[in-house]
Amino acid sequence: MSNYLAFDLGAESGRAMLGTLEGGRLRLEELHRFLNQPVRVPDGLYWDTFRLFHDIREGLRIAGRERQLVLNGVAVDTWGVDYGLLDSNGELCQTPRHYRDPRNNAAYDAALAAAGRENIFNHTGLQFMPLNSLYQLYAARLAGTPALDIATRLLFMPDLLSYWLCGVQKNELTIASTSQFYNPAQKRWSTELFETLGLPPAILGDIVLPGTRLGGLLDEIRDTCALGPTPVFATAGHDTASAVAAVPATGERSWCYISSGTWSLMGVEIDEPVVTPKALELTLTNEVGVEGKVRLLKNIAGLWLVQECRRAWILEGKEYTYAELTEMAAGADPFLAVLDPDQFLDPGHMPERIAAYCRSTGQPVPERPGQFVRICLESLALRYRQVLESLEALVGFPIEVIHIVGGGSRNGLLNRFVAEATARTVVAGPNEATAAGNILVQAMGAGEIAGLPHLRQVVRDSFDLETIDATRDPAWDRAYQRFLRLK
């Protein structure tokens, strides 16, 4: 029996997840959950990074002092693109900024003008989004941020937190591939883009594969948390890469995945990146996964819209659980209105903005929470159908099965909508795919898991999965045509 600890940090919360591997089965247990709340100050939006590391240490303390566990590995995964800069002493130069920091938007336009959209895509094969690391760094350059001038190393968020655990500075491959300055075809940093934009290539460090043993927990952390010699692994540091590693596909039928949460990341797993004019036109992205697989995918605004609606209603004194909102949505009238979820990426006033959008597009305006949530979920399913068709056009084969993993896979109403909107078989689960992937990639690094097919077999043997079949529904076809006309 082996015990691994996964620290899985998402945009809203983080968890310390204990994974016990025995007899080819994985059992998960949450040891510690904590909030991940960004902090807005006059000059921008930042992550509360030191608080996050404090909670990571608390998870280790619980494992060691309270549970008296012997850990066979520890690893961190997080969301993509954000980073910290270290100086020559290994000290953090500046608190890491949040990817929704408003200064990125102007830098994005300026970077595209300076480096060229097609040139950037040819180097990186990545979807264009102002939040990508490249534009965050260029925003720092345009603002004259002193941290950029004194930095000697860039570490993405899981790299930074792993460094604080073991003292080793490395860039893990899957998280590096979210930056838009990694070249997936040539398997190296795209230093040419740095030079074009006046960014310092020297801050880019050594890239390691998921499953690499970085080192051991620092002595001070071991003593404080009552842990013995504990390896710190670079897992698939991008949470989506960990989640996709844990997709329970058998390979018998062609499949795609949706890693469903605040963001929805929908794509296929292939052997080589697709960096073509058509991929650029479809705004698809090539990120790197476990065992060198390429995740050809699309970032979609996911359950973010529902989360923002809920936050707005809480501010008004009406606090609904997600289960209550889903139940209300199930009872609301279908197809009241449709919208493009990706037009609602900014935080704040979500119900007001959805209502204004419906008015501006000549659609009925929702009035009750259930109506708002149903519009969001139906529109998300329609967006999935559109991306599915884009993926099929690019890879040249029909997709038969949609695997939905992550926290959003617990939303049975959305899962049913996806099956009905796409007329595909949907397999939902595991909902803890990211934690499972994190832990099992550690086990690969430790030699307990033989490879990606073995990893997925363990997932199939360990978790209950729900299969949903649906036939083509003319009502969904009509709604899809309305959706396409709004584009």
Helices (H), 331-368: 350-360
- Alpha carbons 104 and 290: distance in angstroms, whole number: 30
Domain that includes residue 94, residue range: 2-237
Active-site residue, from 159, 206, 239, 271: 239
pLDDT of the residue at 487 = 59
Same domain for 138 and 218, yes or no, is yes
CA 205-211-215 angle, to 5 degrees, is: 65
Tell me if 77 is assigned to some domain: yes
Tell me if 441 is assigned to some domain: no
Tell me if 91 is assigned to some domain: yes
What is the total count of domains within the chain? 2
| Domain closes at, from 180, 202, 237 | 237
Same domain for 259 and 201, yes or no, is no
Same domain for 146 and 274, yes or no, is no
Task: Report the DSSP beta bridge partners of residue 428.
Answer: 404, 466
Q: Quick one: DSSP state of residue 304?
A: H
Q: Quick one: DSSP state of residue 333?
A: P
Say what the pTM is: 0.91
Phi, psi of 149 (to 5 degrees): -80, -25
Tracing tokens 């480096």 back to the chain, one arrives at 115
Tell me if 434 is assigned to some domain: no
Tracing tokens 């345009």 back to the chain, one arrives at 142
Same domain for 61 and 144, yes or no, is yes
pLDDT of the residue at 345 = 87
pLDDT of the residue at 11 = 83
Same domain for 277 and 160, yes or no, is no
| Domain closes at, from 181, 207, 237 | 237
- Alpha carbons 339 and 234: distance in angstroms, whole number: 39
- Tell me which residue of 387, 302, 341, 309 sits closest to 486, measured CA to CA: 341
| Domain closes at, from 237, 265, 290 | 237
301: CATH: 3.30.420.40
Same domain for 197 and 294, yes or no, is no
- Alpha carbons 275 and 68: distance in angstroms, whole number: 49
* Non-local CB neighbours of 272 within 8 Å, separated by 6+ positions: 185, 294
Same domain for 209 and 286, yes or no, is no
Residues of the chain with pLDDT under 70: 487
> DSSP 3-state assignment of 85?
strand
* Non-local CB neighbours of 360 within 8 Å, separated by 6+ positions: none
Pairing of strands 466-468, 425-428: antiparallel
Same domain for 333 and 312, yes or no, is yes
pLDDT of the residue at 347 = 87
Same domain for 289 and 410, yes or no, is yes
pLDDT of the residue at 472 = 86
- The question of whether 239 is a catalytic residue gets the answer yes
How many Cβ atoms are within 10 Å of 436's Cβ, its own excluded?
Answer: 28
pLDDT of the residue at 321 = 97
Question: What does the block give as tokens for 395?
Answer: 């890879």
pLDDT of the residue at 386 = 97
Same domain for 200 and 72, yes or no, is yes
How many Cβ atoms are within 10 Å of 417's Cβ, its own excluded?
Answer: 25
Same domain for 46 and 79, yes or no, is yes
Question: What does the block give as tokens for 138?
Answer: 């260029």
